[in-house]
Amino acid sequence: MRKKYTNIAVLFHWSTAALLFGLFTLGWYMVDLEGAQRGYYYRLHKSFGLSAYALVLLRLFWRLRNPPPVLPSDFNSFHVTASRFVHQMTYLLLFIMPITGYLSSSFSGYKTKWFGMNLYHWGWKNEALNSLFSQAHLICGYVLLIIISLHIGAVLFHFVSKNINLLPRIWFHQKIKSNEERIDYEK
């Protein structure tokens, strides 16, 4: 059984993490802006948000066909359940978050564009729906941040209190020859 994530999984993981970091920063920066600058950063946020969504869908599709590696044997049943729960919640929120943003945008009265390219516009201006989906987008964002904090907290917990470094599991590795010993995580 494989004990590390594949290089493709690693690429998906860290590109999503980098995109999310940018989207949260941009999202909270743009909502306080005024005038033309606001429009520019909103369009940028929507374009990167839709790109992140394409990446998430691709990742989910790929993940359903590629099961994760086995967990370290030191994980007790609570750690196994908690880790599965946090990963599933992350995927669920990554799936819902861009939809709420897209719906908010569709009821804002503006066309949603992807880096200048007009997307099919079916929505209309409706302040109540716009505000509802903006709220949903914001709440999903907070829940996602809590889940990501739990995720990072768990990695730190294993390192500090159990001396298990999980990071090499989700970092690039070279193919090893069958007679070589592989270090999957350092104890």
Chain residues that interact with ligand HEM, rule: CB under 6 A: 13, 16-17, 20, 23-24, 27-28, 31, 45-46, 49-50, 52-53, 63, 68, 71, 87, 90-91, 94, 97-98, 101-102, 104-105, 112, 134, 137-138, 141, 148, 151-152, 155, 166-167, 169-170
Q: How far apart are CA 94 and CA 96, in angstroms?
A: 6
Residue partners of 68: CB distance under 8 A and separation at least 6: 5, 9, 87
Question: What six digits make up the tokens of 104?
Answer: 């908010």
Among the listed residues 166, 143, 142, 140, the one whose alpha carbon sits nearest the alpha carbon of residue 153: 166
Least Å distance between CB 51 and ligand HEM?
A: 8
Residues 119/125, Cβ–Cβ less than 8 Å: no
Q: What is the CA radius of gyration of the chain?
A: 20
Least Å distance between CB 180 and ligand HEM?
A: 21
Least Å distance between CB 161 and ligand HEM?
A: 15
Q: How far apart are CA 91 and CA 182, in angstroms?
A: 29
Least Å distance between CB 54 and ligand HEM?
A: 10
Q: How far apart are CA 93 and CA 144, in angstroms?
A: 6
Least Å distance between CB 176 and ligand HEM?
A: 19
Kindly report the length of the chain: 187
Q: How far apart are CA 48 and CA 104, in angstroms?
A: 16
Q: How far apart are CA 72 and CA 3, in angstroms?
A: 8
